[in-house]
Chains A and B, each alone.
Chain A
């Protein structure tokens, strides 16, 4: 499946060719083919267990496909691409009791390992990244005392400290209030414009996906639809992806679109 903007293959940041991933007898992704062009804000939407995180893990090189080819910036993701990719994981997986300050967590985005004592240069870059997400005031607040929204900003700062061309986010809005989520998405859009970066974000928030993304990838083991938000969020595709239309659809959009 290819978006209308992927004519120039050189501009494709992520390419999946007939990718299948199986965990034992369970098929997480089946025969996925997609080209994601540079400079787009993509949201991945789909039911739980639909293969969204598996999709990101393939891009990160944390998983190898059972069959098929994954290319990121024209290379296999297992090669050292971490300088070009920023990653914001789900915050619910983190141990909040870990003794760390936000500024040092942000600096790990530079080093790819934990830090003993921050150098002046690392501190400067970490503060700049925190400034970009409006979180300079949180630099030395213990990690365990941050709210969900604050913590997510810290992880975003960490992921953009190296100014990556590709930013991957796994449900960054979970645990954040509506205002916080809007701020967060605005920061992402601003970053995309400034760096001409590609953003791929898993979200369960259809409204956020509808308003902020250039393309929506509806995923449920296979690609249900990869299109602009007003087309992807149609009754036809949502029913195929989720098996139902979902209350959220009516609440958010007020109308039931037909594909």
Chain B
């Protein structure tokens, strides 16, 4: 145990795993309860478009991916807000558009590289210090905003009309939530990859939902599941020599099935 904790790459991986585990499981309670589970996949694929643009422009892909995904997430919320279309339809449109743009951007590159595809599966063991600093900053911002906004987001999640009747600015709150979720997803992509990120947003929160009688308990339990599955998954992946992201998700899935059996 102490041996792996002394390795700097593993220290970074553990911190990164905890940060991503926290962000995914915290925002997951809103995503699951608002029936927006498709959003994680949608925004992760939107980020692919941004990453591909960054590669085309030969700059740091994440600096392009963050604003690109932010704009897409706000556009998804805007379309839902201004039209009769459901959220999943809006996500589906931008999901396809972003992937299509990503493919075009990659095809425009003069030389072939596999860079874009490393983002598909991520690598939590190769995170660097700047990744950790950005993730930590987002977690700090999330915690600070949560102190003020969790109660508002939770109320609007229960019923937006009731929240509006109590004079909450649900529009602004929704845009803020979408923006934070999109940033969390982009940051998490480098660590766990586009393909797997949605599970971080859905499985811990869904497991917590099965075992919670109140929304606050669901939030706390989801974060506990998110953090513990990241830790357990990383240790297991090290000792069994398995891919870290996939192992974390296996642990999340085990927690989910245990929660189902306890629910029965």
Partners in one complex: yes
Given A93-B159, A116-B150, CB of A104 within 8 Å of CB of B214 = yes
Query: A62-B161, A87-B165, A89-B165 are known contacts. Are A100 and B155 too (CB-CB below 8 A)?
Result: no
A112 proximity list for chain B (CB < 8 A): 155, 166-168
Nearest-neighbour CB distance to chain A for B174, whole angstroms, equals 15
B214/A108 in contact, CB under 8 A: no
User: Please, which residues of chain A bring their CB within 8 A of the CB of B33?
Assistant: 95, 97-99
* Smallest CB separation, A24 vs chain B (Å): 12
Q: What's the minimum C-beta distance from A3 to chain B, rounded to whole angstroms?
A: 26
Cross-interface CB contact of A99 among B162, B163, B214, cutoff 8 Å: B214
The answer to whether A116 touches B165, judged by C-beta atoms less than 8 angstroms apart, is: no
Contact with B along A63-103 (1 / 0, CB 8 A): 00000000000000000101000010100011101111100
> How many residues on A have C-beta within 8 angstroms of the other chain's C-beta atoms?
26
Instruction: Say if the beta carbon of B216 comes within 8 Å of chain A.
Output: yes
**Which among A61, A93, A114 is the interface contact of B215 at CB below 8 angstroms?**
A114
Question: Is B213 engaged at the interface, CB distance under 8 Å to the other chain?
Answer: yes
Which residues from A are CB-within-8-Å of B218? 99
Q: Judging by beta carbons under 8 Å apart, are A60 and B165 in contact?
A: yes
B162-A98 in contact (CB<8A): no
Considering the complex, which residues of chain B in the window 203-260 have a beta carbon less than 8 Å from any beta carbon of chain A? Answer: 209, 212-218
* Selected contact of B151 from candidates A94, A97, A114, CB within 8 Å: A114
Which secondary structure dominates where chain B touches chain A?
helix
State which of B166, B212, B217 has its C-beta within 8 Å of the C-beta of A113.
B166
Which residue from chain B places its CB closest to the CB of A111 in the assembled complex? B151
A115 touches B151 (CB 8 A): yes
Q: A80-B167, A82-B167, A112-B168 are in contact. Are A98 and B150 (CB under 8 A)?
A: no
A99 touches B212 (CB 8 A): yes
Q: Judge if B164 is at the interface, Cβ distance under 8 Å.
A: yes
Known: A93-B161, A113-B166. A99 touches B152 (CB 8 A): no
B152 partner residues in chain A, CB cutoff 8 A: 113-114
In this assembly, does B120 line the interface, its C-beta being within 8 Å of a C-beta of chain A? Answer: no
The count of residues in chain B whose C-beta lies closer than 8 Å to any C-beta of chain A is 25
- The proximity string for A residues 134-169 relative to B, scoring 1 for CB distances below 8 Å and 0 otherwise, is 000000001000000000000000000000000000
Q: Closest approach, in angstroms, between the C-beta of A161 and any C-beta of chain B?
A: 12
Q: Inter-chain contact count A-B, CB under 8 Å?
A: 73
List residues of chain A with CB within 8 A of the CB of B209. Answer: 99
Taking the closest CB of chain B, its distance from the CB of A168, in whole angstroms, is 9
Chain B nearest CB: distance from A98 CB in Å? Answer: 5
Interface string of B166-190 (1 = CB under 8 A from A): 1110000000000000000000000
| Residues in chain A near residue B79, CB distance under 8 A | none
Once the chains bind, are A113 and B151 in contact (CB under 8 Å)?
Answer: yes
- Residues from chain A with a CB closer than 8 A to the CB of B157 are 98
Expressed in whole angstroms, the Cα–Cα distance for A18 and B162 within the complex equals 27
Query: Which residue of B has the minimal Cβ distance to A170?
Result: B161
Which residues on the A side are within 8 Å of B167 (C-beta)?
A: 61, 80, 82, 112
Per the bound structure, the CA–CA distance linking A61 and B264 in Å amounts to 44
Q: Does B63 contact A (CB under 8 A)?
A: no
Point out the residues of chain B lying under 8 angstroms from A179, CB to CB.
none
The reply to whether the CB of B117 lies closer than 8 angstroms to some CB of chain A is no
> Across the interface, do A94 and B213 meet the contact criterion of CB distance under 8 Å?
no
Q: Does A255 contact B (CB under 8 A)?
A: no
Let me know if A99 and B159 touch, CB within 8 A. Answer: no
B120 CB to nearest chain A CB (Å):
33
A105 to B161, CA, bound (A): 15
Contacts of A111 in B (CB 8 A): 151
* CA gap between A51 and B70 in the complex, in Å: 38
Q: Which residue of A lies closest to B29 (CB)?
A: A99
Question: In whole angstroms, how far apart are the Cα atoms of A97 and B212 in the complex?
Answer: 11
CA distance A95 to B151 in the complex (A): 17
Q: Which residues of B are found within 8 Å of A104, using beta-carbon distances?
A: 214
Contact at B213–A101, with CB atoms within 8 Å? Answer: yes
The reply to whether A101 and B162 contact each other, CB–CB distance below 8 Å, is no
B154 at interface (Cβ–Cβ under 8 A)? Answer: yes
> Does A113 contact B161, Cβ atoms closer than 8 Å?
no
Give the residue of B159, B168, B212 whose beta carbon is less than 8 angstroms from that of A95: B159
Nearest Cβ on chain B to A30's Cβ, whole angstroms:
24
Sample of 10 more A-B contacts, CB < 8 Å, known A99-B214, A113-B163: A60-B165, A82-B165, A95-B33, A99-B218, A104-B214, A108-B166, A112-B166, A112-B168, A113-B151, A114-B158
Which residues of A are in contact with B by a Cβ distance under 8 Å? 60-62, 80, 82, 87, 89, 93-95, 97-101, 104-105, 108, 111-117, 142
Q: List 22 A-B contacts (CB under 8 A).
A: A62-B164, A82-B167, A89-B159, A93-B161, A94-B158, A98-B33, A98-B158, A99-B33, A99-B213, A99-B217, A100-B214, A101-B213, A101-B214, A104-B214, A113-B154, A114-B150, A114-B151, A114-B152, A114-B154, A114-B158, A116-B150, A117-B216
